[in-house]
């Protein structure tokens, strides 16, 4: 019974330590567990595959470094796929730090592919305004982005040559960690301009986008690290997301065990109190 009481009132630092071990050990000694590909990820892959080489794909980096461990690997996997298929990529950001994250992503990708800035891809940088930016892109790209991130006029860049407005974009991939993000692209670029939208987001925000998947307003969705690992699996690239899924697996398992142990101790103590004729007690402190 002493053990059950200890379990119920366990010091939260022990929980923190167990979580740290559960995350760090699989990162050092990978287990190589394979993630199953969902239709949401497969649909995005199929869409990119179905486009003819040279198609214009708009990738919006709408996240910040806080969400980057989850979202950045999917950006890298998606960009790898786009360049492998010889598509032209137009990068922009509705989040201030998104454009700089795109710089980091392209620094990594440009080492692996024979791509030239201005010919194969462009980084238009950050533009504040959310929905209105997207709405304005529906009328004119050059008006919203007269220059790229480095100040070069977009009219001089071959990759932008036949891009007048959103209708010239074959696919939009929004990598989002909040607002403005996927809902803005769906309600403007899809609803008003009938563009195909694919999404990538943090795991915690993925459930709210399922209605868009069911209606077809989103062609596919990469949710959290798992979504990134799925895309890496489809393109056959063992990247960071696939490696980190081992850590996430063990961490989830540990949290589930915590919940089971906590409930077992709760019920044992509750029965004990009932036998002694004491009133119900809330159990262990509810503070996190």
Partner 1 sequence: MRREIPMIVAFLAGVIIILEFFVPMLRDVAGQIQQWYLVVVAFAILVGAFNLLRINYMKVRDRRADWPYSVVLIAGLFAMAIVGIFWGIEQGTVFDWLFNYLMFPMSSTMFALLAFFVASAAYRAFRARTVDATLLLVAAIIVMLGQVPIGSIWVPAGWPHSLIFLTPDWLKDRIMEIFNTAGQRAILIGASLGVVSTSLRILLGIERSYLGEE
6 near partner 1 (CB under 8 A): no
Binding mask 18-57 for partner 1 (x = CB under 8 A): xxx--x---------xxxx-x-------------------
Considering only residues 255 through 284, tell me which ones interact with partner 1, judged by CB under 8 A. Answer: 255-256, 258-259, 261-263, 266-267, 283-284
Residue (170 or 199) nearer to partner 1, CB: 199
Question: In terms of Cα–Cα distance, which of 106, 148, 111, 110 is closest to 126?
Answer: 148
| Dihedral over Cα of 183, 188, 190, 191: its sign | positive
Measured from the CB atom, the residue of 173 and 206 that comes closer to partner 1 is 206
Three-state secondary structure call for residue 64: coil
> Residues 175-204 vs partner 1: string with x where CB under 8 A?
----------------------------x-
How far apart are alpha carbons 71 and 91 in whole angstroms? 15
- 42 versus 249: smaller Cβ distance to partner 1: 249
CB of 183 to partner 1, least distance (A): 9
Interface residue with partner 1, options 64, 86, 113, 243 (CB under 8 A) = 64
In sequence order, the 6+-apart residues with CB closer than 8 A to the CB of 256 are: none
How far is Cα 10 from Cα 192, in angstroms, rounded to an integer?
A: 54
Stretch (H or E) spanning 14 = helix 12-28
* Element counts in the chain: helices (H) and strands (E): 11, 6
Q: Which positions from 136 to 175 touch partner 1 by CB under 8 A, shown as an x/- string?
A: x--x---xx----xx-------------------------
């Amino acid at each position: 019974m002493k053990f059950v009481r200890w379990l119920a009132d366990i010091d939260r630092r022990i929980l923190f330590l167990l979580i740290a071990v559960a995350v760090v050990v699989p990162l050092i000694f990978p287990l190589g567990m394979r993630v199953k590909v969902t239709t949401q990820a497969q649909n995005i892959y199929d869409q990119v595959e179905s486009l003819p080489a040279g198609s214009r794909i708009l990738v919006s980096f709408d996240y910040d470094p806080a969400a980057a461990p989850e979202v950045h690997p999917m950006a890298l996997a998606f960009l790898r796929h786009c360049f492998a298929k010889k598509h032209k990529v137009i990068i922009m950001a509705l989040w201030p730090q998104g454009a700089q994250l795109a710089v980091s992503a392209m620094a990594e990708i440009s080492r692996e592919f024979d791509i030239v800035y201005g010919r194969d891809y462009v980084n238009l940088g950050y533009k504040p305004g959310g929905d209105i930016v997207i709405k304005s892109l529906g009328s004119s790209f050059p008006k919203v982005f007269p220059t790229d991130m480095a100040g070069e006029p977009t009219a001089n860049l071959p990759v932008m040559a036949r891009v007048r407005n959103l209708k010239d974009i074959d696919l939009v991939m929004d990598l989002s960690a909040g607002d403005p993000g996927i809902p803005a692209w769906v309600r403007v670029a899809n609803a008003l301009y009938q563009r195909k939208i694919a999404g990538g987001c943090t795991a915690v925000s993925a459930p709210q986008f399922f209605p868009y998947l069911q209606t077809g307003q989103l062609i596919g969705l990469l949710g959290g690290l798992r979504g990134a690992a799925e895309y890496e699996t489809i393109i056959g690239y063992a990247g960071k997301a696939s490696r980190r899924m081992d850590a996430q697996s063990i961490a989830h398992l540990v949290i589930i065990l915590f919940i089971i142990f906590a409930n077992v101790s709760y019920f044992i103590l509750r029965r004990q109190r009932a036998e002694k004729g004491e009133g119900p007690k809330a159990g262990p402190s509810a503070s996190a």
